[in-house]
Amino acid sequence: MKNIQVGLLGIGTVGSGVFTVLQRNHDEIVRRAGRGIEITMVADLDTARAKAVVGDKVQVVADARAVIANPEIDIVIELIGGYGIAKALVLEAIAAGKHVVTANKALLAVHGSEIFQAAEAKGVMVMFEAAVAGGIPIIKSLREGLTANRIQWIAGIINGTTNFILSEMRSKGLDFDVVLKEAQRLGYAEADPTFDIEGVDAAHKATIMAAIGFGIPVQFDKAHVEGITKLTATDIKYAEQLGYRIKLLGISKRRENGIELRVHPTLVPNKRLIANVEGAMNAVMVQGDAVGTTLYYGKGAGSEPTASAVIADLVDITRMASATAAQRVPALAFQPGSMNTMPVLPMGDVVTSYYLRLRVADEAGVLAQVTGIVANAGISIDAVLQREADEVGGEGATSTDLIILTHDCKEATMNAAMAQMQALKTVLAPIVRIRKEELA
Ligand code: HSE
């Protein structure tokens, strides 16, 4: 059978990896796909760089639309990124009857519904394994491996940049700003790291996983997004003393009345495997009612790890290309007509537990005042840690840190209790609140 022909839009780090791995593992991939898969056309504004990667046998153009217009191309890989031109090109490729493979989490998290509807109407596939957790086959696991299950929750370290920064903050006791600069110097963080450190990249990925896990539309605008920029080495240290590590988790959870969807720094018991995922590595935990808790670990970025995911999609499309649309695996796991209308819950309705750090005056009765407010709010305390003032602020210090770990309560209840605590004269600084998940 004729090779399936692929057009690549954007040949940077990931695109080069796709080309290299497809060439290197060609025979093995053919044995799996049942047919050759060949990149025959590449579009990149930097045509010289593209030619240096793919050589003379592949047609290189500057205009991505020339790839889409080529009737020989069966599959378009979009590796441009962002919501702008990438969105137009993906929709045009679909309209031209091409299957699409993309690593573009931002595009799918924000415009996924429009894109999946267009693909369904046209009878083509849109695949995106590389969009979440790089080389880890988490999309396939959720969409196919776990189809027997009612998924209860998904919790993942799905941003390598922030996990690297948190690991360095913990192991070296350094504050965020210092480690960010070092991460930028080493190339672990981009020159403009906003999307990573503010939690946006993780929220894009969590949004996509929630859609597949729970059969809801992609709804990035409903996600609660909180990054790591306000985390201090102090809180990481206190958390450690209490048996926890702080990780930026992307969490989605099934509740009776809706789905929680949130990204924020989270205390995780240090005995959990996921708490020990360090550096730029990614890991995702999924709990299903039948399978129990499962954990997927690997590289979340990089040339060949991400290429591994892109090529897996190419193989899947090649295998399924001759099936009718109804026989194929649905892009969001659930059949398009069977999507769930359960809402994504507002953050106030989220139920979780908390780490609170209060800078308090070192006076009699303060602990009773604070814990009284917590108790009156119906919030149960799990643990309290109070250091000697001298130990925290040095000789003669008149204030100290009071750390409280709570059991589960509603975020809105905690907000109200925090407002009361904050209003106390003996609470001297903004209260630090970090959410906690036992992931049991
Ligand atoms: N910037 C992402 C990360 C990789 O740091 O994990 C691509 O999604």
Q: What is the CATH number of the domain that holds 47?
A: 3.40.50.720
Residues 160 and 60 in one domain: no
Residue 344 lies in a domain: no
pLDDT reported for residue 6: 98
pLDDT reported for residue 337: 87
Residue 430 lies in a domain: yes
First to last CA, the chain: 50
pLDDT reported for residue 391: 77
Output the domain CATH number for residue 412.
Answer: 3.30.70.260
Q: How many residues does the chain have?
A: 440
Please say whether the beta carbons of 277 and 185 come within 8 A.
Answer: no
pLDDT reported for residue 324: 82
Q: Which atom of ligand 1 is nearest to the CA of 205?
A: 8
Residue 322 lies in a domain: yes
196 lines ligand 1 (CB under 6 A): yes
Residues 97 and 210 in one domain: no
Best probe residue, ligand 1, of 128, 132, 159, 282 (max atoms within 8 Å of C-beta): 159
Residue ID of nearest Cα to ligand 1 atom 4: 301
Q: Which atom of ligand 1 is nearest to the CA of 282?
A: 6
d(CA 122, CA 110): 21
CA nearest to 153, candidates 296, 252, 284:
252
Best probe residue, ligand 1, of 13, 80, 108, 161 (max atoms within 8 Å of C-beta): 161
401 lines ligand 1 (CB under 6 A): no
pLDDT reported for residue 336: 86
pLDDT reported for residue 14: 96
d(CA 401, CA 266): 19
d(CA 236, CA 243): 11
The H or E element that residue 415 is part of is helix 411-422
3-state DSSP call for residue 160?
A: helix
Residues 238 and 157 in one domain: yes
- What is the bridge-based pairing of β-strands 258-269 and 292-299? unpaired
Which stretches in the chain have pLDDT values below 70?
none
CA of 131 to the centre of ligand 1 (A): 9
d(CA 429, CA 142): 43
161 lines ligand 1 (CB under 6 A): yes
189-224 core/surface letters (b: 16 or more CB in 10 A; e: else): beeebebbbbbbbbbbbbbbbbbbbbbbbbbbebbb
Q: Which atom of ligand 1 is nearest to the CA of 162?
A: 5
Domain end position, chosen among 286, 315, 338: 338
CA of 391 to the centre of ligand 1 (A): 38
d(CA 362, CA 355): 20
CA of 263 to the centre of ligand 1 (A): 15
CA of 208 to the centre of ligand 1 (A): 15
pLDDT reported for residue 327: 80
Residues 219 and 268 in one domain: yes
306 lines ligand 1 (CB under 6 A): no
Count of structural domains, the chain: 3
Report DSSP letters for 41-91, one per residue. EEE-S-HHHHHHHH-SSSEEES-HHHHHH-TT--EEEE-S-SSSHHHHHHH
201 lines ligand 1 (CB under 6 A): yes
CA nearest to 74, candidates 39, 99, 94, 40:
99
pLDDT reported for residue 20: 97
Domain end position, chosen among 338, 364, 388: 338
Residues 23 and 96 in one domain: yes
Residue 343 lies in a domain: no
Residues 30 and 86 in one domain: yes
Look up the pTM and report it: 0.92
> If phi over 0 gives left and psi between -120 and 50 gives alpha, with beta otherwise, what is residue 33?
alpha
Residue 440 lies in a domain: no
Residues 214 and 275 in one domain: yes
159 lines ligand 1 (CB under 6 A): yes
d(CA 354, CA 399): 22
Residues 271 and 376 in one domain: no
Residues 162 and 290 in one domain: yes
301 lines ligand 1 (CB under 6 A): yes
CA of 101 to the centre of ligand 1 (A): 18
Residues 128 and 173 in one domain: no
Residues 288 and 184 in one domain: yes
Q: Give 339: exposed, middle or buried? Use CB within 10 Å, 0-12, 13-18, 19+.
A: middle
Residue 320 lies in a domain: yes
Task: Tokens 């924000």: give the residue.
Answer: 110
Residues 185 and 319 in one domain: no
Catalytic residue, chosen from 205, 222, 253, 436, is 205
Q: Is 205 a catalytic residue?
A: yes
Q: Identify the domain containing residue 361 by its residue range.
A: 350-435
Residue 311 lies in a domain: yes
Residue 409 lies in a domain: yes
Tens of pLDDT, residue by residue over 304-327, are: 999 999 999 999 999 998 788 888
Query: What is the distance of C-alpha 368 from the center of its chain?
Result: 40
Q: Which two tokens stand for residue 355?
A: 């780490």
> If phi over 0 gives left and psi between -120 and 50 gives alpha, with beta otherwise, what is residue 326?
alpha
CA of 199 to the centre of ligand 1 (A): 11
Report DSSP letters for 88-149, one per residue. HHHHHHHHTT-EEEE--HHHHHHHHHHHHHHHHHHT--EE-GGGSSTTS-HHHIIIIITTTS
